[in-house]
Chain A
Amino acid sequence: MCMASRTKWWVPEMGRNNLRTVIGFEVGRTLGKKKFWFITLLVPIAIGIVIALVSLGNSTAASTIDAQSDAKLTFTYSDASGYVDPAVATALGGTAVTDDAVAIAGVKSGDEDAHFVYPADPAKTPTQVYGVDKGLFGNGEYEGVATQVLIISAQDQIGDPSLTALAQGSVSVTSTTFTDGEEAAGFMGMIPPLVFLLIFFLVFVLLSNQMLTSTLEEKENRVTEMILTTLNPTVLISGKIISLFIVGFVQVLVFLVPALVAYVVFRTSLNLPEVDLSSLTFDPIQMIIGALLALGGFALFTGTLVAIGAVMPTAKDAGSWFSTLIILMIVPLYSLSLILSDPNSPVVQIFTYFPYSAPITAMLRNAFGSLAGWEAAIVITELFLLSAIVLQLAARLFRYGSIEYTTRVSFKTAFARPKATSTAQR
């Protein structure tokens, strides 16, 4: 084996930061696994299959409807109301009759496609439609034609398209409200800050298990003792957290890109509503607060999960703590109506300032405009400060817990060794 000439023991480059190496290793081995891609791609593939099926179904239905529309519908009708304009009915394929029983018999025998019976007061009494069965989509055409005959006849009698539209309730209203003399953003201003809540939740759901097991792996594989002699545990844990964030970002991209492509390409065939982004209102302060809350929440929960992983001997043992953390995180969602209606209530205030319920509560209140600037400042400071403490705690627990391979490390035991852990900080 080639042995290079040995250099001096203490040389400056030995103290270099291994953070990049850890991130490269962690990200590389996660993204390099078939299992990761299988699980990650499962959702977009499932969405793709659903889109394809819906698109195919819509296309087939549209073809069927078009084909049926192309075939001229002929019908008979009787009008007790006097509202039906014979010219309109004739233009749509109708023939007026007086004997409903004979006409219905004609439909039964298949001599006529349909027969409509307009009552004396169509606004109060239903119009009766009889027709030859054409299946789910085809049968709808009868009602459509019967209704069209009445609407067009009525429009002709009113004579003014605007009045007709008003009579039909086609009215649009634009609201403008004011807060402290400034125009309030309204509902469209709530959506952008809520995106951070969605991202936070999505990333946590996708990555929480990896957060929990990231240090357990070193422990279960008995590899930490070697790691601790080559790497500062704070660097290792920071590297793992950053790697998780990168992996989460990749997963979100894998989810979102197909969804966006599907929306752009298949929006029409899927009958999806067109989203008018110009109507959204972006409040820079709200957006910054939302981003900081999401980031602080992510750091706090990740650090805590890593610390739990460092304390517990196996993933199974860590499970109960993990569940508790999840409950603490999502419990504000069960008080959503209270958060909306009474943000100053004691329950909402507790949720706002308790660190593990704070991210979601504060992000909701931020979006709904009920989180004051000073409240946001306190929560954000609290989240980042606690994250830093938890990160140091996680490093300390990892350092000591790494060599407690089969037993759970108690906080008391870990803190009873201030000297033994102090080198980790150097």
Chain B
Amino acid sequence: MDFAGTTVVEDLSFDVKRGETFGFLGSNGSGKTTTLRALLGIYLPTAGVLHIDGRPFTPEAGSRLGYLPEERGLYKKESVLTVMTYFGELKGLSKKAAASWSMNYLERVGMADKAKARVDKLSGGQQQKVQLGVTIMNDPELLILDEPTKGFDPVNRRLLMDIIEEQKRAGATVLMVTHQMEEVERLCDRVILLKGGRAEAYGTIPEVQNQYGGTMIRVGYSGEIPESPHYEISLRDRNYAELTLIGTVDEALILRDLVGAGVLVRSFTTSKLSLEEIFVSVYGEQNEMVGA
């Protein structure tokens, strides 16, 4: 994808399997939203193709797609029920069915009393809930969520995650952009990490952990930890060290090498790098986690 001569996304290839939840990760400007917009036909790639169910997306298929864009917005001067019913009709429901679905949803999220309120009279969080409702109307086959929890407080974030999980259980394929790594670890089957418009890592979470950082060994010891081609010493204190394994190495072999080198090993624990640790190691320290 080129914009005014600048390449935003390049050489990117991935697939999302039916029924899975796929995490789209990356720092600001890494090309996540651009890729989603290309997927939805808002942009078309300068080269290459993006398909949903084997063909390019067209708006006519939108009734089975739930898209929550990064830039949120609704018809602000209209009532909540009017807006939801309108989108429901556009997604193929009858007016009556759309209104009924909307009322059930509003009740579910504790907003039944706001059905006739104008959208611009709602709080930001309430508007987010309405937007999510519009997104999941008519039981979409594919949910594309661009930072779905942005603007939610912890209580409503949990509610939203429950709803996404519910959609997933009902068979929806979910593609979500998020900076909340705990959400990714909780929900996603597979992820892709974008950096500079290219795939930095791609696969299941364990695969990515192996691919990017692999296993970490925490060692309590006395003596001198030797250098080794099998690990990198991430942290070394007087009696404590963290060793990041390079490639696929048997942890028992490391322990044997340490003992063999005369190190008195007091404790030896292994753990995988968390996604957040991988994210930070890939993109560097970033204080602000806002969308691309």
Contacts and interface: CB of A to CB of B under 8 A. Distances in A.
B175 to A, nearest CB: 13
7 contacts: A3-B167, A9-B53, A25-B89, A29-B82, A223-B73, A403-B42, A423-B58
- Most chain B C-beta atoms within 10 Å of own C-beta, residue among A1, A10, A230, A402: A230
A13 interface: yes
A11 B139 CA distance: 14
Contacts of B121: none
Contacts of B74: 221, 223
Nearest to B52: A9
B281 interface: no
A419 B56 CA distance: 13
A340 B86 CA distance: 50
Nearest to A26: B86
Given A9-B141, A232-B60, A403 B91 contact: no
A228 B87 contact: no
Contacts of A403: 37, 42, 71
B41 interface: yes
Given A403-B37, A417-B43, 17 more contacts: A3-B166, A3-B167, A6-B170, A9-B52, A9-B142, A14-B60, A14-B64, A15-B60, A18-B90, A217-B75, A223-B73, A228-B41, A231-B62, A232-B59, A232-B60, A233-B59, A420-B42
A268 B221 CA distance: 113
A37 B56 CA distance: 44
Interface string B51-79: 01101111111111101010111111110
B92 A13 contact: yes
Contacts of B41: 228-229, 423-424
A358 B111 CA distance: 53
A405 interface: yes
Interface residues of B, number: 55
A14 B140 CA distance: 12
A405 B71 contact: yes
Interface in A1-59: 1-4, 6-7, 9-11, 13-16, 18, 21-22, 24-25, 29
Interface of A: 1-4, 6-7, 9-11, 13-16, 18, 21-22, 24-25, 29, 217, 221-226, 228-233, 399, 402-403, 405, 413, 416-417, 419-424, 426
A16 B61 CA distance: 9
A21 B92 CA distance: 10
Contact of A229 (B59, B104, B131): B59
B258 interface: no
Contacts of B82: 25, 29
B90 A231 contact: yes
B134 interface: yes
A1 B59 contact: no
Contacts of A222: 69, 71-73
B142 A230 contact: no
A416 B44 CA distance: 12
A16 B92 contact: yes
A21 B72 CA distance: 22
A255 B63 CA distance: 40
A33 B151 CA distance: 31
